[in-house]
Amino acid sequence: MNHNKIKGIGASPGIEIGEIFFIKKNNISIIKKKSSNKPIDEINRLKNSISILEKKILGLKKNLKNKISKENLSIYDSNIEILKDPDLIEKTTHLIKSKNYSAEYSYKYCSEEYVKVINKIDDEYISARANDIKEISNELIEVLLGKSSTDINFSSPKILVSEKISTNEIASIKSKYIKGIVTAEGGSTDHVSIISKALEIPAVVGLKSKIKKLKNNDKLILNGQEGEVIYNPTPKQLKEYKTKKNILKEKFKNTIKKNKETAKTISGQLIKVNANIGSLNDAKKALKYGADGIGLFRTEFCFLNRQNFPSEEEQFKLYAKILNVLPKKEFIIRLSDFGSDKKVDYIDQPYEQNPAMGYRGLRLGFKYYDKLLKPQLRALIRLSIDYNIKILCPMISDIDDLKEIKKALINESENLKLNKRSHVPLGIMIETPNVAMNAEEFIDHVDFFSFGTNDLSQFLMAADRTNENVAKYHEKAIPSIMKLIENVCNISQKKGKWVGVCGEIASKKELLKMFIKVGVNELSMSPTMIPEIKESIRKIKL
C-alpha cells in the first residue's frame, strides 16, 4: 500500500490526473430561531426565496439539456419538487405562523424532520434522497440569508474536491472544466454519482476524514475504476497512471464503437445480434449495448400488472415510445403470449391441468380476439408505416392457426383503411416439435422463423421449465435442438427465408460456431450479453 493513496468508493469510472480545486464550504451560518418580522412577511420572504432558487435550478437544468439523458435531467425536476413540496411548505408556514420562528429556521427544521424519517427507511435509494433534501434546504437557506452560493470560478480544468458537492453545483460549472470529482461524503447511488456518470466525469466519493490530506492546487491522480486517489504522486506513479489512462481511453473508445458495429466472423459472415426486451428500459439497454435490432419484444410484459385489457390506443402509444428508442432498427414484435406461467387478472382462464400445453399464446389470442388480438394487430399495423416492424406469432403448432392469424392480419389491415400501407413481415416462433420437424408445411406461409428454445426443450424433454426438480434435463436437449435448427435452416435457405434463435441458448458462447455453421442468421439475447457475443463472433473462423 502506498503511503499517498486513499481508498474511497468509485462512483464514476475513468482515470484523471490534475490539480485540485478545493471547494471550501461556508459553515452553515448561524440561523436565528425567532423572527423579528411579522409572520406574514416571513412567509412572503420564504415564498420569494423558493421562487428565486427554482429559477436558478431551471437555469442549471437548461445548461445540461443536451449533455445528459432526459431521465438524468429529471434529477433537477426532483430537486425543484423537493423545494416546492406542498407538505414541506405547509409545515414550514405553520411553524412560522404559530411560533413566529424565522423562515430559515422553520424550513430547516421541517426538512430535517423528513430527513430523519427517510433515513430510517432501510432502502439505499430512498435514504440517498435524504441528502438531496439536505442539499436543497441548505441552498434555500443561503438564498434566504442573501448569500450567493459558493462561488466556484476557474477557467482551466481541475479536479473538484469537497466535503460534499451538490448536483446543482456540478451543473453550475462548465463540465469541460471539471476533470474529476472527489468528495468526503456520498455513495455510489446518490444523484451526484449519477450525474457525474452521465457527464462522464470520473469520480471517487466517500473519502471520509482522509479528504483533509488533499490541498488546493496539489497534484492528484483520481482512479474511478478502483475508487481511489493518489495525492502528491511520485514521478513513477504519474508515469504509470498516464499509461493506464491512455489504455483505458483507447479501450473505451473501441468498445463503444465496436458494440455498435455489426458482428462478422473472420471469414466475413455476418450474423445479426439482436436484443430481447420487454420494457422501455430494456430498449434503452439494447441501444446502450449496441444491439443491431430487437429480436424479441415480449409485448405481454408491458401489460402484466393491471386489471383491464390494454386498448389499441394505449398499445400504440406505448409501442411508439419504445420504438423511438431505436427508431431506425428492425423490431421483431411478438404478439401477446399470455397463459402458461404468465397469467393476468383480466383474462378469465379456466383451470388447466397442464397450462403450458393449454390455452396460451395465440390460442388465447383467438379466444379473446376482439379484446386481445385485434387491438394489438391494429396498433402494430398502424406503426408499421413508420417503423421497421416484423410480427412474431407465439405458440403455433398447427398450420390452421398460422393461416388464421395471417387472415386476421390482412383483415385488420383492410379495415384500417390507411392511406399508406406496408407489408408487415410475419414469422412464427418455433417452440413445438411439430413445427421444428415439419417446417416444410409452414415455410410458404411465413417470412421468417425464430426458435424459442426454452419452450422447445420443455416439450422435447418432457420436462416442465418451471419445475426446478427437472431443470437438469434442459441442458441435454441441446443436441436435438441443434439438429432441428439445422433442419429448419436447410428448408428456409432453399426458399430464401431466414432463421433466428431467441431463447436462452442464443447467448451460449460455445454454441456460436455451430449456429453459424448450420446457417442461423440472427441471434437475440439479453442486451447486456451483446458486446461479449459480438466480440466472440468476430473471433470465429469457420
Partner 1 sequence: MKTIKIQINDKIGFHARTASIFSKSASEFKSIINIEFKDKKVNGKSMLSIMSLGVKTGDSVIISCEGEDEEVSINHLKNLINNNFNS
Q: How far is the CB of 77 from partner 1 (least distance, A)?
A: 7
Annotated catalytic residue: which of 3, 110, 191, 474?
191
The three cell numbers locating residue 284: 434503452
Concerning whether 302 is annotated as a catalytic residue, the answer is no
* Binding residues among 255-314 for partner 1 as defined by CB under 8 A: 279-280, 302, 305-307
**CA distances to 128, 186, 365, 495 from 74, in Å:** 16, 20, 38, 50
Taking CB under 8 A as the rule, does residue 114 contact partner 1?
Answer: yes
Q: Cell match 400501407: residue? A: 421
Q: Tell the burial category of 191 from Cβ atoms under 10 Å away from its Cβ (0-12, 13-18, 19+).
A: buried
**For partner 1, the closer CB: 122 or 444:** 122
Binding mask 130-149 for partner 1 (x = CB under 8 A): --xx----------------
**For partner 1, the closer CB: 86 or 268:** 86
**Closest C-alpha to 289, from 275, 309, 305:** 275
* Binding residues among 76-105 for partner 1 as defined by CB under 8 A: 77-78, 81-82, 85-88
**For partner 1, the closer CB: 2 or 308:** 308
Q: In what order do the strands lie in the sheet with 178-183?
A: 5-7, 228-231, 219-223, 15-23, 158-162, 178-183, 203-205, 9-12
Q: How far is the CB of 123 from partner 1 (least distance, A)?
A: 7
The three cell numbers locating residue 327: 427508431
Span between the terminal Cα atoms of the chain, in Å: 48
Concerning whether 3 is annotated as a catalytic residue, the answer is no
Q: How far is the CB of 504 from partner 1 (least distance, A)?
A: 22
Find all residues with CB under 8 Å of 45, minimum gap 6, and list them: 37, 103, 144
Binding mask 35-74 for partner 1 (x = CB under 8 A): ---------------------------------------x
Strand (E) or helix (H) holding 169: helix 167-172
Select the span of 112-120, 179-187, 206-214, 261-269 touching partner 1 (CB under 8 A): 112-120
**Closest C-alpha to 141, from 92, 72, 195, 100:** 92
Q: How far is the CB of 190 from partner 1 (least distance, A)?
A: 11
Alpha helical stretches, state H, 9-123: 39-64, 70-83, 86-99, 103-120
Q: How far is the CB of 191 from partner 1 (least distance, A)?
A: 9
Strand (E) or helix (H) holding 389: strand 388-393
Number of residues that bind partner 1 (CB under 8 A): 29
Residues involved in catalysis: 191, 502
Binding residues for partner 1 (CB under 8 A): 74, 77-78, 81-82, 85-88, 114, 117-118, 120-123, 125-126, 129, 132-133, 279-280, 302, 305-307, 318, 321
